[in-house]
Structure 1
């Protein structure tokens, strides 16, 4: 059985790699390593189909080292031992280890001395952020490089190479690929070259040649043949967390169109739960006291979305997101509580004033707990000046009001008025 086109077109040298020029372009880090034959182990992380395997294969091909490929989650320590024996007998081996974030401790302990001696040049491949998912012992012995989804121009170049390569590609089939079909392949696979190549191969091999022996591939043929594209917000992938981050930052930055775009990515991935959680957090973290009504609307929209489910949930969510994006913003609430938490966590808290302590038990009076407490509802406007903060925190102001909305301007005025009255009372008490 013939290998898939994406496998056959795997680069044999650094010069054949499409994309990732920040790593393999002239005078870039991996190109320099290969030129100097001073290879170091590395971890490549990024979405599927972006060239991690290709880079490892090209490194081996350019340096004439043996190339072996294993998977950390399914291949055993015995397979690693076989590669180690080969390296011992014939020299350096370039080992591509897929899903390196799943490497268990036994395999890791076996690999570490081989990496340090240089017998094995490890190229770890992962879709997960290595700083979060890979053991520090491995990270400390590797260089970490991020690979990015390929640009449409890169994918077009690779597809055209596959169409003309007679030995490894589809050159012998005499393919006439319509320009709009080529563009579709290059732009709808989310930077995944493997998907684009395999979709092209299926289209070619499932289409009969015309009377001249030419296989004509139209846009409709490609649409039928292209495998389901990888979700750009795969719920189990590292890009999922990047999408969530971009989603909230777009709302915070008042970019309605960007926020809706990232919402669409998350909904295509089917992750309604994350959308709802993040939207509620964003409403109170980033809009907060500037527009409490918008926060309430967001809560209601999320409740409706949970009840109706997808696809209808997209409607209330979109309404809420548009309102949040276009609302005035204030982070005064989260800033205030974080400042208070910082004091508490650092031990800067002090004793609760005796008048505020619980007095609902026998003996409280003897401890003077609750004595001299003034019940605010017994006074005009349901307020009376008295000390609430511990002595060592008197005068502190965690809440720093914003002036981005009429609502918070009103809060600011009340806060400053009450603070002034409270400070006067505190000063009077302090002076006896």
Structure 2
């Protein structure tokens, strides 16, 4: 039986894993475990196709332990017993337990003593939040790591590997893939490498040869993914044009235009670009004028990533509409940039001694922390006290706007405090 390309290209060692470098990169937690040969059971949670099985496979390959894949929903306790018997012979077995959130109590009770003894290193894989959907008994015996949708560059790297690999990949075929097709293949699956690789294989095997070359075009990838490259062109310009128009439409408070450009991104499957830009927009363009919508944007993005497409479009639509119709302010952006300008140009002085850290022996002799006034000991939890260095003691970076009730109120309080500080 011919296994899918994504299955055949699974990494055999930690160094071969694409993406998730926050866990498997040099010096990171899983890499350290493998290097020290001190493995502990873990749960990997995140969207499909982001490398959970690959990490488990690479751990087993790097440590030379036996490796088994078990599905909590469909495999039986009898299958678990077979793995248990092997662990008696080999000493340790790595068990990838897919859909661990669906593990019933009978299988759980069978597994727990094996985890305690270390005979089985459990790597649970789930798309569900383990803190909500996995039993405390399993959670207490595992470390929990979140995996994230792969970046475009990660997926491109994996595709190039597959095209070169003559043993497990498509290297034995003479394949040419157009740059715009490669770009679309690396973005349209929303960080799901499995889908990208399997679509690549379908395109390679279903595209007729031309002069002994399999030439994969954008239209071939669109057909194999069943998605249209609405935001892509050969140089990627159209993709960034849509993102730019999306942000400018929200900044300009045009609900219908913003929804239109969001729909283009959704239809192309580019949830990553859409959600990342939404986060920027919330804090850059609305910001202090409606701070609570920034938190709601984060919540909507989390919901969309959890749901995936197409359902994820619903919370995103809600927050796009609210962002459009919210008052706008970029005062937060302007304030931090003004402060950064001073720091970059060296326009600042020494921190006042009474504000410096004094949690060490000898601090008092250096006059550190001496004379500091603790605001909570004073009326209204405020006391006049200089916080900026002498050189820039009168600097004002924040210039409040009055486009919304929140920042209007913040502006009044800011000016009141400034005046009290300067005895105006």
Q: If the TM-score is normalised by the length of the shorter chain, which range does it land in?
A: 0.5 to 0.7
Partner of 1:324: 326
- Specify whether residues 206 and 172 from structure 1 end up closer, same or farther in structure 2 by C-alpha distance, changes over 3 A only: same
8 Å CA contact retained: 2:8, 2:168: yes
Cα separation, 1, equivalents of 2:73 and 2:136? 18
Post-superposition offset of 1:324: 3.1
Post-superposition offset of 1:408: 9.5
8 Å CA contact retained: 1:199, 1:227: no
8 Å CA contact retained: 2:304, 2:315: no
Post-superposition offset of 1:247: 12
Partner of 1:70: 70
Post-superposition offset of 1:150: 0.9
Residue 100 in structure 1 maps to residue 65 in structure 2: no
Cα separation, 1, equivalents of 2:23 and 2:170? 28
8 Å CA contact retained: 1:150, 1:191: yes
Partner of 2:310: 269
8 Å CA contact retained: 2:46, 2:146: yes
- Specify whether residues 404 and 109 from structure 1 end up closer, same or farther in structure 2 by C-alpha distance, changes over 3 A only: farther
Helix, strand or coil at the partner of 1:39:
coil
Cα separation, 2, equivalents of 1:90 and 1:275? 50
8 Å CA contact retained: 1:195, 1:227: no
Residue 179 in structure 1 maps to residue 220 in structure 2: no
Partner of 1:83: 83
Partner of 1:115: 115
8 Å CA contact retained: 2:9, 2:162: yes
Output one character per residue of 1:238-274: Cα deviation in whole Å (capped at 9) or x when no partner.
x9xx99x979977754669x79x95998895346876
Partner of 2:370: none
Partner of 1:216: 215
Partner of 1:371: none
Cα separation, 1, equivalents of 2:183 and 2:10? 21
Give structure 1 stretches of 5+ with no counterpart.
234-238, 280-316, 328-402, 412-432
Give structure 2 stretches of 5+ with no counterpart.
229-262, 267-271, 330-400, 410-424
Residue 59 in structure 1 maps to residue 100 in structure 2: no
Partner of 2:27: 27
Post-superposition offset of 1:122: 0.2
Cα separation, 2, equivalents of 1:9 and 1:269? 28
- Specify whether residues 321 and 86 from structure 1 end up closer, same or farther in structure 2 by C-alpha distance, changes over 3 A only: same
Cα separation, 2, equivalents of 1:69 and 1:152? 28
8 Å CA contact retained: 1:255, 1:325: no
- Specify whether residues 264 and 153 from structure 1 end up closer, same or farther in structure 2 by C-alpha distance, changes over 3 A only: same
Helix, strand or coil at the partner of 1:204:
helix
Output one character per residue of 1:217-244: Cα deviation in whole Å (capped at 9) or x when no partner.
1111111112569x999xxxxx9xx99x
Cα separation, 2, equivalents of 1:11 and 1:405? 54
- Specify whether residues 177 and 118 from structure 1 end up closer, same or farther in structure 2 by C-alpha distance, changes over 3 A only: same
Output one character per residue of 1:202-227: Cα deviation in whole Å (capped at 9) or x when no partner.
1100011112x111111111111125
Matched pairs, number? 286
Rg bigger for which structure?
1
Partner of 2:224: 225
Partner of 1:193: 193
8 Å CA contact retained: 1:162, 1:170: yes
- Specify whether residues 249 and 76 from structure 1 end up closer, same or farther in structure 2 by C-alpha distance, changes over 3 A only: farther
Cα separation, 2, equivalents of 1:170 and 1:76? 35
Query: TM-score normalised to the size of structure 2?
Result: 0.59
- Specify whether residues 407 and 75 from structure 1 end up closer, same or farther in structure 2 by C-alpha distance, changes over 3 A only: closer
What pairs up with 1:159-170 in 2 under 5 angstroms?
159-170=159-170
Post-superposition offset of 1:127: 0.8
Residue 138 in structure 1 maps to residue 138 in structure 2: yes
Cα separation, 1, equivalents of 2:141 and 2:196? 34
Output one character per residue of 1:333-377: Cα deviation in whole Å (capped at 9) or x when no partner.
xxxxxxxxxxxxxxxxxxxxxxxxxxxxxxxxxxxxxxxxxxxxx
Cα separation, 1, equivalents of 2:163 and 2:101? 35
Cα separation, 2, equivalents of 1:151 and 1:82? 38
